[in-house]
Chains A and B, each alone.
Chain A
Amino acid sequence: MENLLQRTSLIQRAYWLIGLRWVAIVMLAGATFAAGELLGVSLPAAQLYGIAALLLAYNSVLYLLLRYWTWAGQEPSSGEVGGILTFQISADLLILATILHFSGGIENPFLFFFVFHMIIASILRPRWQSYLQATLAVLLFGGLVLLEAARVLPHYRLTGFAGHGLHTDRMFVLGFLSVFTVTLYLVVYMTTSISEQLRAHQEELENANEQLKEKDQVKNEYVLRVTHDIKGHLAAIESCLDVVANGMLGPLNEKQRDFVERAHRRTIKCMAFVMALLKLTRMKLSGRLEMERFSLRKCVFSSLASVQSRAREKSLVLHHQIDPAIDEVLGEAVLIEETITNMLFNAVKYTPDGGRVGLDVTRDGDFVQVRIADTGIGIPEEALPYIFQEFYRAENARAVERDGTGLGLAFAKQVVERHGGRIWVENNPGGGSTFTFTLPDHS
């Protein structure tokens, strides 16, 4: 995983370098034109344009190669991508030295561009390689200016820009070269120190994150195991109490019936909690969802139907509005229906008699939005950030129902997010709250 991350970012960097080179080519041609035509500096323009053309061809080949390599399905290893980067940086140093040769050598201030290459090498490549690149740059540039000073190589003057004779002034050339050398090595030293620190830090974070995920997985498996065992015992308790409470073992006196019923009710509550926890944990541990196209419209109607009688008991107005253009979406129908039903049941539960619960389904860009609004008790401001957390229950919700599981909304969040959607809640200005979730609509 970590290797993959590093490799991906190296490939991105290789593309990034190619991108920068397009800019450099334009700059080279532009600067040649500007210096020659606009500023009246004498330049061997033909050679410089030629280099720009060569660079263009080189960069295109590099781009296509990289494209082919990453497309052909053969995943280049991080070593291979690193090799490409090293090659690119070295080649760029050589090209820069060549350009400088044709454009004034030591007289050309573009020689500072060597510094960029040092920074790039120091960020992307190991420390020792960056020092080697600095050495290569010093050798190339030093060789160039020394050979020009010794008149072994011809010197192309930048007449109209710099004074003549600098390139043969021994004091100037040696002094310049010394500072140049020190600058490059210092740049590499500073940049690699920082980038190595950053890289180590990033690696630490990635490892820590990986460990957290593993621990979370272990925790979930543990919870699943414990919950499953508890469920087995609870099922037995409930079955036995069912038999007694239903009078199948003979009649009970009033006191006995009362106590059996108390135990029965608490067992059922506990079972509901265990089942909710089991469902949530299984959801967390399950791999991919089984996504298929299903009718969201049907799901919504079926959810509405399941809360209808409860809403009627409380004399609530239950209304809905569905965008007629929306029908099928991609997802796991059972889970989505359960989520909508849960949210509707919540709305009905926490809305006082005679209130209103509304559901609407609309389109919002690439998403379908399901919104459930009520005129209920609302959510205290301080509880809003925690409402989707496992086991969290707001004060006023406790007052309405003492033994809720505190898992319903956590499950809803899990379902929605696993589908690639989002879920949130707001309080309505006039009282009550609105829960909204989105599902990506791939149609």
Chain B
Amino acid sequence: MAQGKILIIDDDPDITEAMTVVLENRGYEVRRASDSAEGREQLEKAKPDLIILDVMMRTSQEGFELSRELKGNARYKDIPILMLTAVKQKTGLDFKAEAGDQAWLPVEEFLDKPVKPNVLLEKVEDLLSARGA
């Protein structure tokens, strides 16, 4: 059984529920938040090892803003972020160029919804083991 505490910040309760089942099935401990404010609260309380963050919540950029805030904060900057967005594809906004730019958008990985369970587990494992190493 895998170990680690994961915080999902996403305003879609159904997707959050489904991801929770997938992750808990594998043995991870899952915490959930439906917006940035709740996310910050959970971060403080649960001290997760990984954050799964949706981009579009109340605003289309909420996730980006939160990720920048977290990476600018010494306490949280080492927690890897898996971001849920269609950046890998051609979007109206093009984040591709900035993906590796730490100052602009410091997240470790992107995945587009819907995330296949095996892909999700694989990425989570990669990020956690990279962190542990």
Complex partner residue of A286 from B14, B18, B22, B92, CB under 8 angstroms: B92
Q: How many residues of B contact A (CB 8 A)?
A: 19
Which residues of A does B touch, CB under 8 Å? 231-232, 234-240, 242-243, 246, 248-249, 271, 279, 282-283, 285-286, 290, 334-335
* A-B residue pairs, 3 tightest by C-beta: A239-B18, A236-B14, A235-B113
Q: List 29 A-B contacts (CB under 8 A).
A: A232-B113, A234-B114, A235-B113, A235-B114, A236-B12, A236-B18, A239-B14, A239-B15, A239-B19, A239-B114, A240-B17, A242-B18, A242-B114, A243-B18, A243-B21, A243-B117, A246-B117, A248-B21, A248-B25, A248-B117, A249-B21, A271-B114, A279-B90, A282-B89, A282-B92, A286-B90, A286-B92, A290-B94, A334-B90
Task: Report the bound CA distance from A248 to B91 in whole Å.
Answer: 33
B17, A279: Cβ atoms closer than 8 Å: no
B-chain residues with CB within 8 Å of residue A234 when the two chains form the complex: 114
A-chain residues with CB within 8 Å of residue B94 when the two chains form the complex: 290
Complex partner residue of B22 from A232, A237, A248, A279, CB under 8 angstroms: A248
Q: Does B116 contact A (CB under 8 A)?
A: yes
A282-B90, A282-B92, A286-B90 known; A240 and B14 CB under 8 Å?
yes
Q: Does B2 contact A (CB under 8 A)?
A: no
Task: Report the bound CA distance from A334 to B89 in whole Å.
Answer: 9
Task: Report the bound CA distance from A248 to B17 in whole Å.
Answer: 12
Chain B positions 34 through 59: 1 when the CB is less than 8 Å from some CB of chain A, otherwise 0: 00000000000000000000000000
A243, B114: Cβ atoms closer than 8 Å: no
Query: Least Cβ distance of A185 to chain B in Å?
Result: 59
A285, B15: Cβ atoms closer than 8 Å: no
Complex partner residue of A239 from B25, B90, B115, CB under 8 angstroms: B115
Beyond the given A239-B19, A242-B18, please list 4 additional residue pairs across the A-B interface where CB-CB is below 8 A: A236-B18, A237-B14, A240-B18, A248-B21
A-chain residues with CB within 8 Å of residue B90 when the two chains form the complex: 279, 282-283, 286, 334-335
B-chain residues with CB within 8 Å of residue A286 when the two chains form the complex: 90, 92
Q: Which residue of B lies closest to A289 (CB)?
A: B90
Q: Which residue of A lies closest to B13 (CB)?
A: A236
Interface residues of A, dominant DSSP: helix
Number of inter-chain CB pairs below 8 Å: 54
Task: Report the bound CA distance from A282 to B17 in whole Å.
Answer: 30
Interface centre among B18, B25, B113 (most CB of A within 10 A): B18
B-chain residues with CB within 8 Å of residue A335 when the two chains form the complex: 90
A242, B12: Cβ atoms closer than 8 Å: no
B-chain residues with CB within 8 Å of residue A239 when the two chains form the complex: 14-15, 18-19, 113-115
Task: Report the bound CA distance from A385 to B90 in whole Å.
Answer: 29
A-chain residues with CB within 8 Å of residue B15 when the two chains form the complex: 235-236, 239
B-chain residues with CB within 8 Å of residue A246 when the two chains form the complex: 117
Q: Which residue of A lies closest to B86 (CB)?
A: A278
Task: Report the bound CA distance from A285 to B92 in whole Å.
Answer: 8
Task: Report the bound CA distance from A209 to B25 in whole Å.
Answer: 58
For window 1-37 of chain B, which residues contact chain A by CB distance below 8 Å?
A: 12, 14-15, 17-19, 21-22, 25
A282, B91: Cβ atoms closer than 8 Å: yes
Q: Which residue of A lies closest to B25 (CB)?
A: A248
B-chain residues with CB within 8 Å of residue A271 when the two chains form the complex: 114
Chain B positions 65 through 98: 1 when the CB is less than 8 Å from some CB of chain A, otherwise 0: 0000000000000000000000001111010000
Interface centre among A232, A242, A286 (most CB of B within 10 A): A242
Task: Report the bound CA distance from A248 to B23 in whole Å.
Answer: 10
For window 83-129 of chain B, which residues contact chain A by CB distance below 8 Å?
A: 89-92, 94, 113-117
Q: Which residue of B lies closest to A285 (CB)?
A: B92
A279, B89: Cβ atoms closer than 8 Å: yes
Query: Least Cβ distance of B27 to chain A in Å?
Result: 12
Task: Report the bound CA distance from A243 to B20 in whole Å.
Answer: 10
A-chain residues with CB within 8 Å of residue B22 when the two chains form the complex: 242-243, 248
Task: Report the bound CA distance from A232 to B84 in whole Å.
Answer: 12
A242, B89: Cβ atoms closer than 8 Å: no
Query: Least Cβ distance of B16 to chain A in Å?
Result: 9
Q: Which residue of A lies closest to B24 (CB)?
A: A248
A242, B116: Cβ atoms closer than 8 Å: yes
Query: Least Cβ distance of B9 to chain A in Å?
Result: 16
B-chain residues with CB within 8 Å of residue A232 when the two chains form the complex: 12, 113
Query: Least Cβ distance of B75 to chain A in Å?
Result: 31
A-chain residues with CB within 8 Å of residue B14 when the two chains form the complex: 236-237, 239-240
B-chain residues with CB within 8 Å of residue A283 when the two chains form the complex: 90
B-chain residues with CB within 8 Å of residue A237 when the two chains form the complex: 14
Task: Report the bound CA distance from A282 to B90 in whole Å.
Answer: 7
B-chain residues with CB within 8 Å of residue A242 when the two chains form the complex: 18, 22, 114, 116-117
